Amino acid sequence: MNNETLATIARRYACRDFTEKMPGVGELQAIAKAALAAPSGVNRQLWRVIIVRDKKLIGELEEEGMRVLSELPDKSAYERILSRGGKLFYNAPCMAVIPTGKASPEGAEYFDCGIIAQNIALAATSLGIDNVICGLSCVSFAGSRKDEFKARLGFPEGYDIGISVLLGYASKPGKPHELDQEKVSFIG
């Protein structure tokens, strides 16, 4: 069985090498609209969608993130990024940053962040815009420049980083991961 939605889902993959080409404003507006259509627990919509197209700011977030990662006792994430070329944001020209407020029960907001991120990823893929969901973007907001970045990005009071999605165009084509049908079972 196939249709346009299933084909988009099947085509999406994590892009980790972007060109400098910026997605168009109309496309980014369509992606933002798709983000806002995401479901959230009790329709709390505790997120914001901040589309960052400022190369200098993305560079500063990346530099701070790498610094924070390098200082963590567990160096595995830092080393993984180094093995992928040392770029936390893979030269992406655009970043959809999703700050979130605090939900009750505690932590429930992160389900919502995951869902909005997937809406962004699938909407982007449907428009031919490559992307990768970037949980590690949180480290850019975990160091001494946290408050400065939150202010520059316009996070509402009491909001913290939830997740980000990097957007742009792949410098070389990638492919989706293999599907493991053994993880699926039917009962009845």
Ligand X SMILES: Cc1cc2nc3c(=O)[nH]c(=O)nc-3n(C[C@H](O)[C@H](O)[C@H](O)COP(=O)(O)O)c2cc1C
Which parts of this chain interact with ligand X (CB under 6 A)? 13-14, 16, 114, 132-136, 176-177
Q: Is 24 or 176 the residue whose CB approaches ligand X more closely?
A: 176
Could you give the CA distance from residue 112 to residue 100 in angstroms, rounded to a whole number? 9
Taking the complex as a whole, how short is the minimal distance between the CB of residue 18 and ligand X, in angstroms?
A: 12
Q: Do the strands 130-134 and 94-100 form a parallel or antiparallel pair, or are they unpaired? A: unpaired
CB of 53 to ligand X, least distance (A): 20
Let me know: does 46 contact 103? Beta carbons within 8 Å.
yes
In contact, 18 and 91? CB cutoff 8 Å: yes
Which residue, 16 or 145, is less far from ligand X as judged by CB? Answer: 16
For residues 62 and 157, which CB has a smaller minimum distance to ligand X in the complex? 62
Tokens 């490559």: give the residue: 130
Shortest Å distance, C-beta 134 to ligand X = 4
Phi, psi angles (nearest 5°) of residue 24: -70, 155
Minimum separation from the CB atom of position 176 to ligand X (A): 5
C-beta closer to ligand X: residue 56 or 177 = 177
Tokens in use for 81? 């990024």
